[in-house]
Amino acid sequence: MEELLDDLNDKQKEAVEYLDGPLLILAGAGSGKTRVLTYKMAYLLEKEIVKPWEILAITFTNKAANEMKERVNNLIGEKAEDVWLGTFHSICVRILKREIGILGFSNTFNIFDDLDKDKVIKEIVKNLKIDEKQYPISLLKYEISKAKDNMKDYKKYKKEAMGDFRKEQIADIYEVYQKTLKQNNSIDFDDIIMFTVKIFSENPDILMKYQSKFKYILVDEYQDTNKAQFLLISLISASHGNICVVGDESQSIYGFRGADISNILNFEKEFSNAKIVKLEENYRSTQNILNAANAVIKNNKSKIDKNLWTSNEIGEKIVYKTLDNEYAEVEYIVEKIDEICRKENMTYADFAVLFRTNAQARVLEEVFVKSGTPYRLIGGLKFYSRKEIKDLTSYLKLIQNTSDNIALKRIINEPKRGIGDTALQRLEQIAIEKNISIFDVMQDSDNLVGIRSAGNIIMFRDMINSIIARKDSLKVSDLMKVILKESGYEDMLNEDATKDAENRFENLMEFIGVAMEFETESADNTLADFLDSIALVSDVDKLEEDAEAVTLMTMHSAKGLEFNVVFIVGMEEGLFPSRRSIDEDEACEEERRLCYVAITRAKKKLYITNASKRTLYGSTAYCINSRFIAEIPEELFDDEGKENIEKRKKKSQKYIDKEYVQVEGILEKTGGYFGGIPSKSTSKVTPFGIDVNSFLNNISGTKNVAKNIDNTNKYVVGMSIKHKKFGIGTIQKIDPEDDDLKLEIMFDKYGFKRLMANHTPLEILD
The yes-or-no answer on residue 651 being catalytic is no
C-alpha 519: how far from its chain's center? 28
Of 669, 708, 711, 662, the residue nearest 686 (C-alpha)? 669
Q: How far is CA 711 from CA 663, 705, 706, in A?
A: 13, 10, 9
Cα separation, 678 vs 671, in Å, equals: 9
Options 54, 113, 220, 591, the catalytic residue: 220
SS3 746: strand
Cα separation, 697 vs 105, in Å, equals: 61
Options 13, 34, 649, 760, the catalytic residue: 34
Residue 279 pairs in a beta bridge with: 27
The yes-or-no answer on residue 627 being catalytic is no
Q: Which residues contact 61 (CB under 8 A, 6 or more apart)?
A: 87, 538, 540, 541, 560
Phi-psi region of 498 (alpha: psi -120 to 50; beta: other; left: phi over 0): beta
SS3 417: coil
H/E run at residue 755: strand 751-756
* Contact of 555 with 575, CB cutoff 8 Å: no
The yes-or-no answer on residue 33 being catalytic is yes
C-alpha 337: how far from its chain's center? 28
Cα separation, 24 vs 78, in Å, equals: 27
Q: How many CA atoms lie within 13 A of 96 on its CB side?
A: 31
C-alpha 93: how far from its chain's center? 20
CA quadruple 420, 108, 231, 534: dihedral positive or negative?
A: negative
Options 99, 113, 191, 221, the catalytic residue: 221
Cα separation, 569 vs 608, in Å, equals: 6
What letter does residue 515 receive in the DSSP assignment? H
DSSP for 650-706 reads: HHHHHHHHHHHHHHHHHHHHH--EETTEE-SS---B-TTS-BHHHHHHH---HHHHH
* Contact of 388 with 504, CB cutoff 8 Å: yes
Count other Cβ atoms within 10 Å, centred on residue 666.
20
Q: Which residues contact 254 (CB under 8 A, 6 or more apart)?
A: 224, 556
Q: Exposed (0-12), middle (13-18) or buried (19+): which is 265, by Cβ within 10 Å? A: middle
Residues across the chain: 766
Cα separation, 309 vs 301, in Å, equals: 21
The yes-or-no answer on residue 760 being catalytic is no
Beta strands at 23-27 and 275-279: parallel, antiparallel or unpaired: parallel
DSSP for 432-488 reads: HHHTS-HHHHHHSGGGGTT-TTHHHHHHHHHHHHHHHHHGGGS-HHHHHHHHHHHTS
Q: How far is CA 763 from CA 31, 396, 522, 719, 760, in A?
A: 58, 56, 68, 11, 10
Cα separation, 470 vs 482, in Å, equals: 10
* Contact of 33 with 278, CB cutoff 8 Å: no
Options 152, 215, 227, 601, the catalytic residue: 601
SS3 736: strand
Cα separation, 100 vs 95, in Å, equals: 8
Options 251, 286, 393, 702, the catalytic residue: 251
**Residue 249, phi then psi, degrees to nearest 5:** -60, -25
Phi-psi region of 583 (alpha: psi -120 to 50; beta: other; left: phi over 0): alpha
Catalytic residue positions, numbered: 33-34, 220-221, 251, 601
